[in-house]
Chains A and B, each alone.
Chain A
Amino acid sequence: MNRKPIWEALRPYVLIAPAMAGIGMFVVYPVIYLVYLSFHKYNLMNKAKSKFIGWDNFTQLLTRGDFYKALGNTAVYTLGVVVLTMLLSLLIAVWLNKKTRFNAVVQAGIFTPHIVSIVSVAFVWMWLMEPDQGVLNFVLRSLGIPASDWLQSSKTAMISVIIVSVWQSIGYYALIIVAALQSISPSIYEAAALDNASRFKVFTKITLPLISPQLFFILIIMTIGSFKVFDTVKIMTGGGPNGATDTLVYYIYGFRTTNIGYSAATSVVLMLIIGLLTFVYFRLLARKVHYQ
C-alpha cells in the first residue's frame, strides 16, 4: 500500500542518477581533486610519496616568467580573436541578413570551417602559410606586398594563429547574429523609416540595442573559449617560435607529466579566470535581459 508513494518520491532521483553520477565523477570530483593536487608535490610513480607542500606551487607559479608570458599570450590571443571575430561577423551578418537563396549558400559556405576538425584546419593553414611555397605569400607577392614568415617568426606567429581561429569561427558567430537580426520585427524598421531615421541611426539606435543580448552572449562565449585555446597552438606552432604562442592550456599541458602539482595549480588559476568571466556574464545578463 505504501510502496507507490515511496517510489514516486524516489523516481526523480532515480531518473537523474546516471547524469548526476557522470557529472560528479567527471566534473565535480576532478575539480576538487585538482585543487587537492595543486597543494601537493605529486609523484606519478608512487602515489604514496606525494606530499603536501601548501602554497608552494602557487608561489612558484606567480614568480615564474614563463607563466606570465603564457598568460599574456593568452590575453593577447583572446583580445585579438574577440575583437576581430566580433567586428567581422557583425559586418558579415548585417550584410547577409536578407533571406535569399544566395545568402543561404554564402552562409553555409562561411560556416563550413566551423564543423571541420581543428586538425584539418590547422594543417591547411600551415600549408597556406608556408613561407616559400605557400599560397598566402604567393598572393602577397603578386600584389607587390612583401612576404611574411607567418608561423615561423615570433613576430607574426601569434597573429597567424589568431587569423586561423577567426577564420574558423566567423561563420558560426555571424549566423547567430543573423538569427538575432531576423528576429527583429520588420515593422520596427518601417516605423523608423517613417520617423525619418538615417541608416546609421537605425543601426546604432535600433538594431544594435536590439541584438545586444546576443552580442553580449557571443562576447562571453568567445572570451571563455579563447582562454582555453590549445589545439591550434599545439599543431601549428608548438608554443613557438621562442614561446611566442605559448598559452595557458599549452603551458598546463607541458607540465602534465613532469610536474603534476604545478600543472594543477595553473589549471586552478585558469578555472578561476573562467569562473570570474562566467560570473560577470551572469551578473550583467541578469541586469540586461529584462526587456521583451
Chain B
Amino acid sequence: MNTLDSSYFNWLKSAVGIAFKIVILAVFIFPFLWMISTSLQTFRETLAFPPTWIPAVPQWGNFAEAMRAGPFLTYAKNSLIITVSIIVIQFAVMIPAAYAFAKYRFALKNVLFGLVLLAFMIPGQITFIPVYLMMADMDLIHTLWPQIIPFMSNAFGIFLLRQYFMQIPEEIIEAARLDNAGEWKLVRKIMIPMAKPALATIALFSFVSHWNEYFWPLVMTNSASIRPLTLGISMLRETEGISNWHIIMAGNVVLVIPILIVYLFCSKQIVKAFVYSGIK
C-alpha cells in the first residue's frame, strides 16, 4: 500500500515536471516555429488578429521575393568565403603558436602570452575605428579582407589549444623524439591528433560566431558586393518596408536554417564546444 502511494506521488511529480519542462522548451523553440510559419504566410494573414498560426496555403514565393531584394547569392558567397578563410587562417596561425607556448621555454614568453590574453579581453567594439582607418589606408576597404584578416589570431583558440598541448604528457613527446621524429612530424602525428577535440571545438565556435557576425561587417563595409548574409538580411527591413514581416521572416529562415541544420546533427558537439569554452 505504501509503495503504491509513493509511486503514484512520484508519477504525479514527474508528470508535472515534464509538463513544466515542455513549457520552458516552448518558450525557446516557439519563436523559431513562428518565424517559419510567418515566412509562409500571405501579407493579409500576417495582419490578422488573432494571429494565423498555420498559413492556409504555404507561400513559397515569399522566399523568392526576399531573395530579389538584394544580391543574396553574393551575400551568401561572401559569408561562406569569410567564414572558411577565417577558420583556415586561424588554424595555420594558432597551431604553431599554441605549440610554442605549450612546449618551449623562451625569453619573454610570459609577456607575449600576456598579450594573447589581452587580445582575448579587448572586443572589436573598441578597436573597430582604428582598424577601419588602417584598412582604409591600405586601400582594402572595398575587399573582403577587413572582415577576415583582423581575426587571424584567435586568442581564445591559442589559449585553449595550449592548455590541451600542455596536458599531453612529456613522456609521449620524448618517446617520439627517441623514435627520431622531427619537430614537424611530432606536431602533425602526435600533437594534432591528440588535440582533435579542442580543434573541433575551436572550428565549430569560429564557424558559428563568424557566420553570425553582425557588428564587424556593419562597420567595415560600404558596398553591397562585400556584404555578408547577416547584413543583407538585416537590411531587408529597409528595402522591403517595416511591415512586410512575411518577407523579412522568409529572409530570416534562409539565414538561420543552415545553422539550425548543423545544430540538429551535432547539437551535442556544439553544446560541448560552447560550454567548454565557458568553463576553461
Chain A interface (Cβ within 8 Å of chain B)? Answer: 9, 11-13, 15-16, 18-31, 33-34, 37, 92, 95-96, 102-103, 105-121, 123-125, 127-128, 130, 132-133, 135, 138, 142, 167, 170-173, 175-176, 179-180, 214, 217-218, 221, 224, 228, 230-231, 234-235, 249, 252-253, 256, 260, 263-264, 267, 270-271, 274-275, 278
Contacts and interface: CB of A to CB of B under 8 A. Distances in A.
Contacts of B268: 108
A112 B212 contact: no
Nearest to A92: B24
Majority-rule SS of B interface residues: helix
Nearest to A115: B208
Given A29-B130, A34-B129, A263-B129, 5 more contacts: A16-B100, A142-B50, A175-B271, A224-B121, A271-B126
B112 A16 contact: yes
B28 A133 contact: no
Contacts of A224: 121
B93 interface: yes
B130 A34 contact: yes
B127 to A, nearest CB: 4
B28 A30 contact: no
A117 B104 contact: no
Which of B21, B27, B158: most chain A CB closer than 10 A?
A: B21
Q: Determine the main DSSP class of A at the interface with B.
A: helix
A260 B21 CA distance: 50
Nearest to B106: A12
Interface residues of B, number: 83
A117 B132 CA distance: 23
Contacts of A123: 35, 233-234, 237, 248-249, 252
Contact of A30 (B24, B127, B208): B127
B3 interface: no
B237 to A, nearest CB: 8
B11 interface: no
